[in-house]
Amino acid sequence: MSQIKVEFVCLGNICRSPMAEAVFRHLVNARGYSDKIVIDSSGTGDWHIGRPPHEGTRRILDTNHISYEGMVARQFTEQDFENFDYIVCMDSNNLRDVHALPGSDQHSKVIRFMDLLPDEKEENVPDPYYTGNFEEVYRLVQAGCKALLDRIEQEELQ
Ligand code: 4NP
């Protein structure tokens, strides 16, 4: 069976999408799918290319014993439309910026993260780079990653 490839996208690729990448990988490993699902993240902006996750993201991942080893920021590229099956955008601006690139029309699974959590009132994962609230982001990221893996299990792994 070919692998399912999942990419999380935010603005800087240092706070929210690396948190989602690390949490989702942890969950995928725990459910025994590490050979079936490939996980990555990127940012629509280029300011932090090559940098590790933000200290706030690292701290909350450390607290929860979730690895982010080797992760460094990179920028989203049009090539990602071909390389990934699910492109999960952390907020509406990220979604708009991804949709603005050539190639997005052919891609059926560009998703907004909060659409995985219909019972939550927010439409966007709040950006902790500005709010400083990494705990709130962690709660949403945990819940959304579980919902995404449930969906992938139903859609692809039955
Ligand atoms: P992220 O947060 O998109 O969750 O990684 C941000 C990180 C950096 C910047 C903005 C948002 N920045 O403007 O440098």
28-55 residue pLDDT tens: 999 999 999 999 999 999 999 999 999 9
Report the number of distinct structural domains present in the chain: 1
- Give the domain extent around 77: 4-155
| The ligand 1 atom nearest the CA atom of 16 | 4
The yes-or-no answer on residue 89 being catalytic is no
DSSP state string for the chain:
-PPEEEEEEESSSSSHHHHHHHHHHHHHHHTT-TTTEEEEEEESS-TTTTPPPPHHHHHHHHHTT---TT----B--THHHHH-SEEEESSHHHHHHHHTSTTGGG-S-EEEGGGG-TTSS-SS---HHHH--HHHHHHHHHHHHHHHHHHHHHHH--
Is 127 an active-site residue? yes
CATH code (residue 105): 3.40.50.2300
Q: How does residue 158 score in pLDDT terms, banded at 50, 70 and 90?
A: confident
Nearest-CA residue for ligand 1 atom 12 is 12
pTM of the full predicted structure? 0.97
Question: Does the pLDDT at position 1 exceed 70?
Answer: no
| CA-proximal residue: ligand 1, atom 10 (nearest) | 12
